[in-house]
A and B are shown apart, each in its own frame.
Chain A
Amino acid sequence: MGEMSRAVHEPPTFLRRYVFSTDHKVIGIQYLITAMFMAIAGGGLVALMRMQLAWPGTKWAWLGRIFPDGMESGVMKPEFYLSLMTMHGTIMVFFVVSLGLLGGFGNFLIPLQIGARDMAFPVLNMLSYWTIVPACLVMLGSFWVEGGAAAAGWTAYPPLSAVRTALPGSQWGQTLWILGMALFIASFTMGGLNYVTTIFDQRTKGMSMMRMPLTIWTMFIASAIGLLAFPPLLAAAVLLLFDRHGGTSFFLPSGLYFGNQLLPNSGGTPLLWQHLFWFLGHPEVYVLILPALGITLDLLPVFTRKPLFGYRLTVYCLYAIAALSMIVWGHHMYVSGMSPYVGEFFAIGTLAITVPSTIIGVNMIASLWGGTLRFPTPMLFVIGAIVFFGTGGFGGIFLGNATSDIQLHDTYFVVGHFHLMIGGVTLMAMFAGVYYWFPKMFGRMMSERLGKVHFWLTFPAFYAIFLAMHYQGLAGMPRRYYAFDKYEYLQWLQGSHLHVSLAAFLLFGAQFLFLYNFFRSVFRGRKAADNPWNAATLEWSSPTPAPHGNWGEHLPEVHRWPYDYSVPGATGDCTPQTTPASVAPVTF
């Protein structure tokens, strides 16, 4: 009875239905659109950075009018470049990829794919979204405070981030950065608790853990490691706040000398922050990439019309990656001054991650074997994600290895590596996911033609940019440089900055095609069928778009794993999870 009444009582007012909604689908879409908006901001920041790197010191009068402080008379100041860089990193990692993948797809898909009417805690879910909105506003708004936005890098290493006179961005910008991160972490924690609880507790009849689609597995594992890893960063951020405004010395040793003045601090160490930051920071990259892998893996069977290769092993590998990810943070600190003996442990531990990662990669490629491949837009991005996961992942072999990291640490090799992984794999998977689940969200299809153009511009440009950066890094080009004209050994790379910048502008421009396609299709897209991709997972057993409560009177019952395609003896090449074993044999 309770179930039924929840299914029919849709919130009556516009405000409760679309703004302060507790419906997981609405919240998921809110997250997704927020992430898209933040991505435009984050992309805009990097477009400005790439202008400076391609044409250093050029005067852009019109930009001087938009940023009277940072680009006074149109020439970019170094401190403004550092603010752009810091906020690009922060926004993209936390406010685009985390928001889009976990907030967006997590909220939208978890109840639909496990057969629940909503999240376990719908109000908490709403609160989690409405905590992220002020976080976004605080982050963006920090550009307009005195000294500009935070500029100590997305890693915010003290003393640069702790001493207010160390850098213009370390005045109010850094304080707002801490506030924004605190709100973000509060929101993530609410979301993460909700995801884990919902997946444990709200699965419909027959949906055992080993019948869950890999998207749900990866959301589950990502939320779990996020819940373990984010609180230490929150603690560290509070300590940093005390150091900045309370006169404490958690990260500040004695003898600091700034601007002809000896600071009174004593007793702290900057390395403590690095440990706390990376204790989050490394699991965080898996929080981002695992759901991306989940989406990639889940879409493969749909567009090959055959089951996934190695489902069970993939689940075990996800567990292995998650466990290892918690004990390898030190590979970001090989040359930080940390004990070199610890470095040996971290090198061996880090390279162990290549083993489960490779198995997952091989499973992806092997899943293509013997299938009938079809390439609507989502599948194109799936292939893109596989390519980036392979190429990007191999970069980790260089960086996880303490010995080669001596040379490559803090060079563009690192920038290229993490962009291919937590920029590329995630972006490709998010695009695949949006094109794929768009009909479920809005009841309409996105334009295939625009989607294909979008892919063929995005994929090669992305590959070119970040592949080139690996080689720039091998040449010893340090990251976080406002210009590269001061060093003779970097002169021969000048041309490559221009090439990378041009590809970056192309990449940025191509995303407007996507935005146009998205918003146009919400209203003008072709009407979608209930199951437009002929897919077997549970979300397609509800009407498209899914109503409030997701299913009518009765929740669906699950009888098989999510990848029963081309079952011998079944009618059609897709056997949904709801099909009983008496109708078609269960093959897993």
Chain B
Amino acid sequence: MEASTARRVGSSLAIVIWLLALGVVALGLRRWMPPLASEHGAGIDAMIRFSMSAVGSLILIGHCVLGYFLWRFSRQDKISFRLAGHHLERRWSLVAALLMAAIAEGGVLTLGLPVWAKVYDTEAPSNALPIEVTTEQFAWNVRYAGPDGVFGRTSPKLITLDNPLGVDAQDPAGKDDVIDLNVIRAEVNRAVKIRLRSKDVLHSFFLPNLRVKQDSVPGMTIEFWFVPNKTGTFELACAELCGLGHYEMRGLLVVLTTEEFQKWLQEKKNG
């Protein structure tokens, strides 16, 4: 009686576990990530694809083996193997350890960290477009340095409702700055160098299509750069809890052609 129950339950568990593995893999084969629109993003996608394939295979193998063991060993009334010797234990552990080290550490060392280093440890190209983004509950203040490439001085003491960044009107460097709200405009295939600041709490500058994410931290100015390589409008999401409007702190990145971008900048300055 007990034995037949064990057989039934073991088989059911095995089948469910096999089906789960198939579900994981079937879902994993679908395209989930938003369409890519940046140069460095290809490296991040390659890293994720590598992990998806490796982990997908391991999940498939793991579930198959577990299911098979449940199937097979729920069918016997006497044990067929008792205690492994130290040698056998060590050998199996070594196989597991080496495989995992190769996948996890191998992946991060060969595919991951080179991309990481390129994103964070290299200087932006000299023609990069400097844009300052200052976050606040629940908006993105965008400022372009203008032709001189220098941002005008700001001070929190000067912040008013009309001057949300606290721009110092006395500073000549600020004369040609262009200020905008919630929309960042950039040129396709030209690096954008973001200077990220925050007025109040933590926020996070997340461009899902461009594989860019960076927290903004009050008291810090964080610089990073990326190259948008597709024209179009991409959504900018806040990815660090910032208060009750966190879910609607939406911005846009509009990637224009060079002509369109220059035209817009000109219009903005004249207007």
Contact = CB atoms under 8 A, between A and B. Distances in A.
A304 B78 CA distance: 10
A348 B108 CA distance: 7
Q: Which residue, B30, B74, B157, has most C-beta atoms of chain A within 10 A?
A: B74
A471 B23 CA distance: 12
A407 B44 contact: yes
A403 B113 contact: yes
Given A375-B10, A467-B23, A257 B199 contact: yes
A403 B204 CA distance: 17
B16 A402 contact: no
Interface in B182-239: 199-202, 204, 206, 208-209, 211-220, 222, 235, 237-239
Interface in B216-271: 216-220, 222, 235, 237-248, 250
B121 interface: yes
Nearest to A86: B241
Contact of A371 (B30, B79, B116): B79
B244 A79 contact: yes
Interface stretch (A163-171, A522-530, A537-545): A163-171
Contact of B51 (A363, A387, A391, A398): A398
A483 interface: yes
Contact of A163 (B13, B201, B209, B217): B201
A335 B199 contact: no
A394 interface: yes
A467 B204 CA distance: 25
A400 B116 CA distance: 13
A587 B211 CA distance: 55
A568 B47 CA distance: 51
A20 B30 CA distance: 57
Interface stretch (B93-101, B124-132, B142-150, B171-179): B93-101
Interface residues of A, number: 108
B238 to A, nearest CB: 7
Interface string B80-102: 11111010011011001101110
Contact of B108 (A168, A351, A387, A410): A351
Interface string B101-113: 1011101110111
B214 A362 contact: no
B78 A372 contact: yes
A299 to B, nearest CB: 15
A572 interface: no
A375 B74 contact: yes
B247 A483 contact: yes
Given A347-B112, A486-B250, A487-B250, A397 B107 contact: yes
A586 B34 CA distance: 59
Contacts of A369: 69, 73, 81
Contacts of A428: none
Nearest to B233: A488
B34 A475 contact: yes
Interface stretch (A97-105, A226-234, A248-256): A248-256
A305 B222 CA distance: 59
A375 B6 contact: yes
B5 A400 contact: no
B58 to A, nearest CB: 6
A273 to B, nearest CB: 10
Contacts of B70: 368, 373, 383
B219 A255 contact: yes
A335 B214 contact: yes
Interface string A365-378: 11011111111000
A306 interface: yes
Contact of A480 (B77, B218, B241, B248): B241
B66 A386 contact: yes
A160 B242 CA distance: 7
B181 interface: no
A271 B54 CA distance: 34
B206 to A, nearest CB: 7
B217 to A, nearest CB: 5
B32 A410 contact: no
Nearest to A375: B9
Given A309-B89, A343-B116, A160 B202 contact: yes
A482 B247 contact: yes
Contacts of A77: 244
A406 B44 contact: yes
A471 B32 CA distance: 7
Contacts of B96: 358-359, 361-362
B44 A404 contact: yes
Contact of B244 (A82, A372, A459, A474): A82
Contacts of B27: 467, 471
A206 interface: no
B218 A253 contact: yes
A312 B83 CA distance: 13
A310 interface: yes
Nearest to A317: B93
A313 interface: yes
Contacts of B237: 476, 478, 487
Contacts of B47: 401, 403-404
B243 A160 contact: yes
B133 to A, nearest CB: 14
Interface string A283-318: 000000000000000000000111101101100000
22 contacts: A163-B201, A255-B219, A256-B200, A304-B79, A310-B89, A335-B215, A337-B222, A344-B113, A354-B103, A358-B97, A369-B73, A390-B66, A403-B108, A404-B47, A407-B213, A411-B239, A474-B32, A475-B32, A476-B208, A482-B244, A482-B247, A587-B82
Interface of B: 2, 5-6, 9-10, 13, 16-17, 20, 23-24, 27-28, 30, 32-34, 43-44, 47-48, 51, 54-55, 58-59, 62-63, 65-66, 69-70, 73-74, 76-84, 86, 89-90, 92-93, 96-97, 99-101, 103-105, 107-109, 111-113, 115-117, 119-121, 136-137, 156-157, 159, 161, 199-202, 204, 206, 208-209, 211-220, 222, 235, 237-248, 250
Given A387-B20, A480-B247, 20 more contacts: A255-B219, A256-B199, A256-B200, A306-B81, A344-B113, A347-B112, A351-B104, A351-B105, A354-B100, A354-B101, A368-B70, A373-B10, A373-B74, A390-B59, A407-B213, A482-B244, A486-B247, A489-B209, A489-B235, A565-B79
Interface of A: 77-79, 82, 151-153, 157, 159-160, 163, 166-168, 252-258, 260, 262, 268-271, 304-307, 309-310, 312-313, 335-337, 340-341, 343-344, 347-348, 351-352, 354-356, 358-359, 361-363, 365-366, 368-375, 380, 383, 386-387, 390-391, 394, 397-398, 400-404, 406-411, 459-460, 463, 467, 471, 474-476, 478, 480-484, 486-489, 565-566, 568, 573, 587-588
